[in-house]
Amino acid sequence: MRGRHKKMSDLMKEERERIRAHIRSFSTVESHYCRKDSERLYLGASLNLATMYRLYCETRHKEQAVTIASSTVYCELFRTEFNLGFHNPSKDRCDFCVSFENLSLDEKDKQKQLYNDHHRNKARVQEKKIKDKEESHSKNENDSVHATLERVSKDLDIYTTPHWAGVISAAKRTKPHYIVKELDEHCFFDFKQVAGHLKSFDLDVDRQKVQWLNIKSMKTTKENPILYDYDAQYDQLNLAQRIRKVQHSVDFHEIKSDVLNFGKSPGIDKDKYDDLQSLCKAQIIPKDHHQFSTS
């Protein structure tokens, strides 16, 4: 009967190939926005090496395998041959990429150009985020607060404002703790009634409509009017000549605060409400938090 059995070395080579195939069978996502110049891919937050090895063993048992590699071999291959990580935070991915991954192959082909354009702006977005952080965190007493909140919230999925209040209150472990003052509608003013006396910013000097909601960033310099950026190069925006004529002047100091008070919760407009519903429907907002978004 000699020669009918494979050598142990050959069996282990085959088993290593099965391990590689098993690791490749898990879905991965790439890092988005938060990690620059990284080729590492990320597995789902519900996975870890122990779970993956357990699933591998279950598969081999179902196949009635004679040989099953040890966890040491499995972990060694994972760490030395794959650039994979775990616990990819949801804030590390945008809605567009999440939606694209859930499309069928035909739908992905149709959206391929949009997806490529989206990723071409990735490096620019990362650079702007880094620059904004550097400029916003100057050397002042708030720096430690920002750093603490970033540290405690980076691995959390936060979907509601009450959740933020709890996170901030518990962020600092030593006294004095952070105090969160929650505001209601009486703390805000509605200036719509005086908006007619302010400048109109609907059109620029070329009588072209300014798409404010599409603007990604703005900058102003001493030498030039405001420049705005919809997607790539900056365009010039001059609003100085668009002052709306009024029949009489208004002294804003004479307007009583109780007139400007909302008096009741202002709510949100229909478009924002529909956006929240779409996020709930797509399960981007988990079911446990749907009540906050639908009430």
For residue range 162-195, list pLDDT tens digits in order: 888 888 888 887 888 888 888 877 777 777 766 6
What's the average model confidence in pLDDT over 137-164? 76
Reply yes or no on whether the pLDDT at 37 is more than 60. no
| pLDDT number for residue 56 | 93
Q: Residue 246 — pLDDT band, cuts 50, 70, 90?
A: very low
- The residue among 78, 62, 68 whose CA lies nearest residue 21 is 78
| pLDDT number for residue 194 | 64
Between 199 and 128, where is the model more confident?
Answer: 128
What's the average model confidence in pLDDT over 226-255? 53
| pLDDT number for residue 1 | 44
| pLDDT number for residue 251 | 55
Reply yes or no on whether the pLDDT at 29 is more than 60. yes
**CA atoms of 15 and 68, how far apart (whole Å):** 7
Q: Extract the tokens encoding 166.
A: 């709890």
- Which residue ranges make up each domain of the chain? 11-93, 189-294
Residues contacting residue 205 through CB under 8 Å, at least 6 positions apart: 238, 239, 240, 241, 242
**CA atoms of 204 and 207, how far apart (whole Å):** 5
Q: Are the beta carbons of 252 and 236 closer than 8 angstroms? A: no
What's the average model confidence in pLDDT over 81-89? 76
| pLDDT number for residue 31 | 61
| pLDDT number for residue 92 | 56
- The residue among 119, 50, 46 whose CA lies nearest residue 88 is 46
Specify burial of residue 19 (Cβ count, 10 A radius: 0-12, 13-18, 19+).
buried
Reply yes or no on whether the pLDDT at 266 is more than 60. yes
H or E stretch at 49: helix 49-62
H or E stretch at 218: strand 217-219
Reply yes or no on whether the pLDDT at 265 is more than 80. no
Task: Give, in order, the Cα–Cα distances in Å from 142 to each of 78, 130, 167, 180, 291.
Answer: 42, 18, 17, 15, 34
